[in-house]
Amino acid sequence: MTAMKKYDRILDALQELLENNPIQNISVSDIAKKAEMGKGSIYYYFPSKEAILDALIERNYEKPLKTAKSLAARTEISPFTRMAMILQACRNSSAAFLSRHSTDPAAGTNAQDFAFLHQKYMNHLISELKPALTEIITQGIAAGEIHFEYPAALAEIVLIVLAVKLNNTFLSSTAEDSEDTIRGLVSLLEKGTGIPQGTLNYLTTSIEL
C-alpha cells in the first residue's frame, strides 16, 4: 500500500467513526483499528488525533477552494472579478460544510461536535483564502485601482464577515438580512478603499445567498 493510500485510509477511518461517535470518544487506537493498521503507523503520518481531524477537514473542503487559491496568478482578470470569485468560493465552501454536518442527532453530529468542527472549518477557510485575496488586493493597489494601506487586514476582515454571515450558524438570519450584510460590506469596501461608488455592486449579485 502506498503512503498516500495509507494517509487517505486514516482519514477515511476517522470520517466513518465521526458518523456514529462523538469526537471526544474517538481515540487514535480507534482510528488505527478502523483503518486496519497499527497505532504506530498512525503516528508516522500524524502527531495527534487533532492533526488527523485538521487533515480531514482540509480534504473535505479542498475542491471549493482549489480554484480560488489559484486566482492570484490570473492577472488577466480584473481584481474586482477575482474578488467576486473568491467570495463565491467562500459561499460554496460554506454550503459544503453545512450540507455535510448537522446538529440533528440522526445525522451523527451533536451540537458540541458541530461547534468544534465549525471552528476548525472556519479557521481553515480563512487561512486558505486569505493569501489569495490579499495578493489580489495588493495587485489592485499596485495598479491604482484600489487605495488601501493594509491589504492583508482587509482580506481577513472581508473573509471573517462572510464566513460568519454566510454560514448562518453563529448569527442566524434570513436571506434578506444576509443580503443587507453583503451590501453593507460592499459599501464599506468602496468607501474604505477609494473605489468609485457602485463599482462593486455586482458583488452582491455574484454571491448566491
> How is residue 172 annotated by DSSP?
-
> In the structure, what pLDDT confidence band is assigned to residue 136 with cuts at 50, 70 and 90?
very high
- Determine the pLDDT at residue 46: 95
Give the residue, 56 or 106, on which the prediction is more confident: 56
Type and span of the H or E element at 97: helix 79-100
Do 172 and 103 meet the contact criterion of CB atoms below 8 Å apart? no
Over residues 12-41, the mean pLDDT reads: 91
Cα–Cα distance between 5 and 1 in angstroms, integer? Answer: 6
**Per-residue pLDDT at 170:** 56
Neighbouring residues of 182: CB distance < 8 A, sequence distance ≥ 6: 162, 165, 203, 204, 207, 209
* Cell numbers placing 167: 454560514
Least confident piece of the model among 12-21, 34-43, 104-113: 104-113
**Are 201 and 186 spatial neighbours (Cβ–Cβ below 8 Å)?**
yes
Average pLDDT in the 3-7 region? 85
Burial class of residue 48 (count of CB atoms within 10 Å of its CB; 0-12, 13-18, 19+): exposed
List of residues 6+ apart from 117 with CB closer than 8 A: 23, 57, 101, 109
Is 27 in a helix, a strand, or coil?
Answer: coil
With CA atoms as reference, report the closest residue to 181 among 151, 143, 207: 207
Query: Would you state the pLDDT for residue 105?
Result: 43
Q: Answer yes or no: are the C-beta atoms of 148 and 193 closer than 8 Å.
A: yes
